[in-house]
């Protein structure tokens, strides 16, 4: 079955995420990323006051932030990378003990919506078809966005295609 994905282009300024950090191989990502989310969710009360909220009072969003092993905001290389399971926070928020704070730089992103079931196909489509066909290269690490209004298991993948201001 061939899946079709709608892609939108989004300019997003730099933002901060506080979460639980880990690192490991991409082929075994479920075994080390799922525990990060479990820990972040179980201890969310420790960072709830720092969570950025929209005007309607809902949380702005949760992020599966990624970077390379050298923390240079580049895509994972050699099948390894760093991952931060957390929430978007106010710029001035400081990470409490046991948490990490990352700043995701400003980028223009190609964004695609998917589910956990279609995640691998969305990644393949974006990296092997969409980005090359549009003349885009990844200029940073891919990010996962989990919006509170999405049903469980749905997310947006953010592919950085241009550095922001």
Task: Note the pTM of the prediction, 2 decimals.
Answer: 0.94
For residue 114, is it within any domain? Answer: yes
For residue 60, is it within any domain? Answer: yes
Work out the angle at residue 48's Cα, subtended by the Cα atoms of residues 92 and 41, and round it to the nearest 5 degrees.
Answer: 125
For residue 2, is it within any domain? Answer: no
Give yes or no for residue 121 having a pLDDT over 90: yes
Give the chain's domain count: 1
Q: Per DSSP, what are the bridge partners of residue 160?
A: 109
What's the chain's length in residues? 165
> String of b and e for 83-98 (b: at least 16 CB within 10 Å)?
bbbbbbbeeebebeee
Q: Which domain holds residue 55?
A: 7-163
pLDDT band at 24 (very low <50, low <70, confident <90, very high): very high
For residue 159, is it within any domain? Answer: yes
For residue 138, is it within any domain? Answer: yes
Span 38-66, pLDDT tens digits? 999 999 999 999 999 988 888 889 999 99
Continuous segment of H or E residues that includes residue 79: none
Asked whether 157 and 114 are in contact (CB, 8 A), the reply is yes
Span 139-151, pLDDT tens digits? 999 999 999 889 9
Domain CATH code at residue 11: 3.20.80.10
* pLDDT computed for residue 57 by the predictor: 85
């Amino acid at each position: 079955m061939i899946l079709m994905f709608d892609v939108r282009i989004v300019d997003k300024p730099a933002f901060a995420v506080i979460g639980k950090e880990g690192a490991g191989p991409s082929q075994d990502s479920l075994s080390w990323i799922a525990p990060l989310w479990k820990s972040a969710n179980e201890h969310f009360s420790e960072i709830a006051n720092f969570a950025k909220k929209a005007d309607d009072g809902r949380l702005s969003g949760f992020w599966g932030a990624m970077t390379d092993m050298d923390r240079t905001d580049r895509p994972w290389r050699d099948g390894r990378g760093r991952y931060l399971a957390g929430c978007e926070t106010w710029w001035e928020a400081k990470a409490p003990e046991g948490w990490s704070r990352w700043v995701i730089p400003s980028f223009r992103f190609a964004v695609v919506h998917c589910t956990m079931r279609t995640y691998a196909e969305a990644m393949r489509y974006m990296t092997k078809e969409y980005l090359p066909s549009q003349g885009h290269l990844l200029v940073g690490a891919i990010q996962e966005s989990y919006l509170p209004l999405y049903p469980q298991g749905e997310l947006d993948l953010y592919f950085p295609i241009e550095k922001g201001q």
